[in-house]
Structure 1
Amino acid sequence: MIKTSTPIKKMTKMSVRWAFNWGEWSPSEKELKLAVSCLQLEEKARLAKFVFRKDLKASLIGRLLMRKFINDSTKIPYDKIELERDKTTGRPILKNPSTPVSFNVSHQGNYTVLAGESEDLKIGVDVMKLEYTGGKALPEFFRIMNRNFSSSEWNEIRGAPGTPESKQIAMFGRHWALKESYVKALSVGITVDLRELDFQTQSDLRSDKVVADTILYERGVRRNWNFEETLIDSDHCVAVALEIEKQKSHPQNNHFVVIKFEDLMKFAIPLHPEDDDFCKNYFGKAERP
């Protein structure tokens, strides 16, 4: 816990969008030991339960992204940052409630992403790999998922007759990321009737531009939210949901910056001694099923 007598430097106004490609990251023993030593013990214990390396890496990077963002934006010393989980939603939050900072993480495909703001607002982020690996024929998969999208959304997803399946999959992933980002910002999870969320896209996604003209109607009423969308690469799209009324001074339409391990750990301070057994167990796991 941060003591009230501990001096904290003035916060730096920040609006960040970070992405880490853990799919291409094969940590050395030295890197893994350092990374894990910079986590709280309960976070480390949670990571140890993962069966596959890929899931452990994705979650590990998410925790480190949170700590980096909090350290950069609040100037709380790295080794004094204390995260906890919201008792209602289970969402990671900063334990010091007097510090206005908002962030959210997501991982899917090869990336873990973080969207953060150094102010108190509702924010959600979701990343999707634009591929389909369900095994069923795509029309059958869409039939199963029918109840999660409005009729107008299905028109966008399926496109005109003859639209290639790759484009249908990409639009499906885009719409799913939009829905996930919104419900994560609300901290309600996928417990709402997703058909009541009707996203209407206006622009194609690009890797060199952030589009922010997608409109959301909920139960037929236009919602006053901003959705930032872009492609991290040709295979991954990402969406950030922000409640417009709560936005104050952060820049609009931020590009996602892909950061490396060295960037992530630049100002990290270990919280505990390095753990040889954790490292040994990690390298004994399979990368994926």
Structure 2
Amino acid sequence: MLVTWFLDVDGWTPSKEDWQRLLSYVPQNEVNLIERYRFVKDQKFALCSRLLQRKLIHQVHGVDYQNIRIERTGKPFWVDCTNARWNYNVSHQGSIVAIACHDLYRIGIDVVCITDKSPKLTIDQFFKNFTLYFGSREWAQIHSSPNPLECFYQLWSLKEAYVKALGIGIGFDISRVQFDLDNGIDFYLDDQLTQTWQFITKQLNPTHYISIAMEIPLHERLNSIEWIQLDTHELDRL
């Protein structure tokens, strides 16, 4: 079963009482991590991410919030899950927080905001910072695109979704991964076309893209994914 949700927290200004109530749904060690963030936006992202994880586990597995133990290696996981293959991933950027899960296949997601670029840099200067992270076929797509920055972020999001699905994080050489968007999404690992993973990227709104990576055989073709937008009030305990 595939579940895909997202929240747009832009404009969300919970009252002090609402904020404290939502904080009470997560354990104190996670509250401490949330409150370490200096900026309110980052605190909101951190809290929404943790509540989305608990809402997902509650809805899919019927476990009460207070009985959900979440830990993290390369990706977060539910400690007491009885299905060793069930996994999920969460991502946030810009104003979007998203989560997705599957009970059979490794899954990763990534959100990118295409406006998140330093205003002090030209596009070419910005791209130079990432020279080693993209392959020749990807740079060719970026530079030939009518919107190079948008193409750049789509490719970056796909790379991140794959690495997050693996759950290995730091240490993986992201330049080993290339994508070709000219005819669907072709995936190359170490310059070899690979068919054991499938990818979908979607524009959620004018400034945000979201990508999903799943280790799923081609005969179970992923044609589309319905991303369901939740409202922040749905983060409340059920």
Unpaired segments of 5 or more residues in structure 2? Answer: none
| CA distance in structure 1 between the aligned counterparts of 2:10 and 2:114, rounded to whole angstroms | 15
C-alpha deviation, 1:252, in angstroms: 5.6
Displacement of 1:131 in angstroms is: 1.8
Q: Distance in 1 between matches of 2:90 and 2:223?
A: 19
Q: Which runs of 4+ in 1 moved over 3 A?
A: 245-248
Deviation at 1:251, TM superposition (A): 7.6
Tell me, in whole angstroms, the C-alpha distance in 1 between the residues paired with 2:164 and 2:174: 13
2:4 match: secondary structure:
strand
Compute the displacement of 1:58 (Å).
Answer: 0.6
User: Is residue 109 of structure 2 the alignment partner of residue 122 of structure 1?
Assistant: no
Q: Is the 8 A contact 2:65 2:237 kept in 1?
A: no
Once the two structures are superposed, the pairs formed by residues 69-108 of structure 1 within 5 Å of their partners are: 69-86=56-73, 89=74, 91-100=75-84, 101-108=86-93
In the alignment, the residues of structure 1 paired with residue 237 and residue 95 of structure 2 have an alpha-carbon distance, to the nearest angstrom, of 22
Q: Is the 8 A contact 1:18 1:256 kept in 2?
A: yes
Partner residue in 1 for 2:190: 219
- Whether contact under 8 Å (1:131, 1:170) holds in the other structure is no
For 1:67, the aligned partner's letter is: R
Q: Read off the aligned partner of 1:103 and give its amino acid letter.
A: Y
Q: 1:181 to 1:49 in 2, by over 3 A?
A: same
Name the CA distance, whole Å, in 2 between partners of 1:200 and 1:190: 24
- Cα distance in 1 between the residues matched to 2:8 and 2:22: 15
Q: 2:54 matched to 1:67?
A: yes
Among candidates 133, 141, 165, match of residue 185 of structure 1: 165
- In the comparison of the two structures, how many residue pairs are matched? 235
Equivalent position amino acid for 1:173 in 2: Y
Q: Percent identity?
A: 27
Tell me the SS of whatever aligns to 1:104: strand
Residue equivalent to 2:176:
196
More off after superposition, 92-101 vs 124-133:
92-101
Question: Quick one: structure 1 residues 190 and 253, their matched pair in 2 at CA, closer, same or farther if it must change by over 3 Å?
Answer: farther
Q: Distance in 1 between matches of 2:223 and 2:60?
A: 17
C-alpha deviation, 1:35, in angstroms: 0.9
Q: Distance in 2 between matches of 1:22 and 1:53?
A: 12
**Alpha-carbon RMSD:** 2.1
Residues 254 and 193 of structure 1, relative CA distance in 2, 3 Å threshold: same
Of the candidates 20, 27, 34, which is equivalent to residue 40 of structure 1?
Answer: 27
* TM-score normalised by L of structure 1: 0.76
TM-score of the aligned structures, taking structure 2 as reference length:
0.91
Q: Which of 137, 143, 146 matches 1:152?
A: 137
Listed as ranges, the gaps of 5+ residues in structure 1 are 1-13, 204-212, 268-289
**Structure in which a larger fraction of residues adopt strand:** 2
Instruction: Specify the SS of the correspondent of 1:105.
Output: strand
Secondary structure of the corresponding residue to residue 10 of structure 2: helix
- Cα deviations across residues 187-238 of structure 1 (Å, max 9, x unaligned)? 12253222221101146xxxxxxxxx31111112222211121111111000
